[in-house]
Amino acid sequence: MASSSSTPRFSANDVTVIFFLGGPGSGKGTQSANLVRDYGFVHLSAGDLLRAEQVREGSQYGDMIKTYIREGKIVPMEVTVALLSNAMADSLATNPPPAGTKARFLIDGFPRKLDQAVFFEETVCVSELVLFLDCPEDVMESRLLKRGETSGRDDDNAESIRKRFRTFVETSMPVVDDFQKKGKVVAVKATGSVDEVYGLVKAGIEQRGVHPR
Ligand SMILES: Nc1ncnc2c1ncn2[C@@H]1O[C@H](COP(=O)(O)OP(=O)(O)O)[C@@H](O)[C@H]1O
Ligand SMILES: O=c1ccn([C@@H]2O[C@H](COP(=O)(O)OP(=O)(O)O)[C@@H](O)[C@H]2O)c(=O)[nH]1
Ligand SMILES: [Mg+2]
């Protein structure tokens, strides 16, 4: 039987996609800001896009997203992949990369499940690298509880954090392990200060040929 093959919406010849993974509170959002500043990445946080969709007037997904996020569950991938794909298209239309350069997308907090990784790479774009922040749960927990004092996020509480950790171990780490087998992972120890972690991040990606822009 002929196998069906789809062409991704964006060619890896035109855009560079780096997935940015790590447990909740490992520092993805914080380090993303550094990477945007120094490497010209467009930062797309799957969680931020879902939270924006949750409160968007007229969204049919608002209640569903709210429940999934509070329970630390993974929103059905069609929703998240559509948000990411459309955000990439919007960015390319409104803020194209300098002539002769490829647009760089840093996709933060995605893919969190193996089927999302496969679906995204088949339909949107093949990734170049996976940057992984490796951080123990006790460190992530204390960061998240502190973040919860001001974030206003209804998943930054002890009960939701426990559920998010469970989802991360059971569902998201297998994605990292799969990309590891393909030789695509740059793993960084994320327990140091923000500056220390960033130093390791920079060294890791530059070793893979990603340089400041
Ligand atoms: N290296 C670090 N040391 C101490 N606190 C950190 C560090 N990196 C991030 N934080 C803080 O920890 C919390 C979680 O970081 P964040 O970047 O939002 O992580 P993630 O996006 O992976 O959940 C934030 O309040 C952030 O300010
Ligand atoms: O691809 C994704 C990314 C996020 N989420 C949901 O959004 C929440 C928050 O994700 P975010 O990346 O913002 O959390 P962080 O890791 O930064 O704390 C997750 O727990 C999930 O419920 C999801 O369903 N699919
Ligand atoms: Mg984040």
**Residue ranges of domains in the chain, CATH in brackets:** 15-204 (3.40.50.300)
DSSP 156: -
The secondary structure of the chain in percent helix, strand, coil, rounded to multiples of 5, reads 55, 15, 35
102 lines ligand 1 (CB under 6 A): no
Give me Rg for the CA atoms of the chain. 17
Length of the chain: 213
**What backbone torsions phi and psi does residue 164 show, to the nearest 5 degrees?**
-65, -40
153 lines ligand 2 (CB under 6 A): no
142 is in an annotated binding site: no
pLDDT of 171: 98
pLDDT of 6: 78
Q: Distance from the CA of 126 to the center of ligand 2, in angstroms?
A: 21
With beta carbons less than 8 A apart as the criterion, state whether 97 and 10 touch: no
pLDDT of 4: 55
CB environment 84-106: b (16+ within 10 A), e (fewer): bbebbeebbeeeebeeeeebbbb
Tens-digit pLDDT string for the chain (213 aa): 555 567 999 999 999 999 999 999 999 999 999 999 999 999 999 999 999 999 999 999 999 999 999 999 999 999 999 999 999 999 999 999 989 999 999 999 999 999 999 999 999 999 999 999 999 999 999 999 999 999 999 999 999 999 999 999 999 999 999 999 999 999 999 999 999 999 999 999 999 999 999
Q: Which atom of ligand 2 is nearest to the CA of 110?
A: 1
